[in-house]
Amino acid sequence: MSTAAVQPSTPPARSGGAAAIGLIVTIVFSVVAPILTFNILTEDHGWSEASALLVSGVWPVLDTVIMVAWRRKLDEFAIIALVFLAITAVVSLVGAQSARALLVKDSAVTGLFGLLCLATLLAPRPLMFYFGRKFGTDGTPAGVAYYNGLWQYEGFRNAQRRMTLVWGVVYLIEAAVRVALSYLLDTSTMVTLSPFLIYGTLGGLALWTVRFVKRTKAEGEKRAAAAAAAAAEGSAA
């Protein structure tokens, strides 16, 4: 039986509540908690900026662990997150340990993510395909099967590759900007600004991606309708 024969016309329903809870947990553990931890340790307890930065980095790790425990599965997104957290930890422990060096190293990790996006354009499926499956479905077998089935369509494949290209280029630019700001701004300001740059970039890319997907879907439906109309006219003739 072909893939097209079993591909459902509409995706299965998904839970918006679960996605909202996941977003809130990520904001708390990856944005709010690191900033508060850094400020409390440096201002109230006299810790060095470098030590406070290292401790603040524990919160995003905890965020990933919570998500894996909640979903009860280690999917591609969780694996990628854990790999980059491991890279961040290793990079942070190598070389200079000043606060500025740690900020620059952290920025370099997002640059590596951009390079990874571009590298996967040479793979059978680009990285954004897996991100799309993570956030575009609720993780159920029906949702995953529906999303996997979309790969048979050329328009879908081209869209995934284009999104991966855009994400890779933007993250390379974001990393370069954060490295430059790490030398121009003081550490406390950069610690506060860095999460907003990270998640602001992510939010901007997510917004662009949603609009791009809607536009691509509308164009695909328009082409399908035109093809169906042409086929109907041919049959009538």
- Tens digits of residue pLDDT in 100-126: 777 787 777 788 889 989 999 999 999
Predicted local distance difference test score (pLDDT) of residue 6:
44
Predicted local distance difference test score (pLDDT) of residue 4:
42
Give the residue among 117, 131, 216 at the shortest CA–CA distance from 170.
117
How buried is residue 27: exposed, middle or buried, by Cβ count under 10 Å (0-12/13-18/19+)?
Answer: middle
Give the residue among 163, 32, 117, 134 at the shortest CA–CA distance from 73.
134
Give the span between the Cα atoms of 189 and 90, in whole angstroms.
24
- Tell me the whole-structure pTM to 2 decimals: 0.65
Check: CB of residue 7 under 8 Å from CB of residue 152: yes
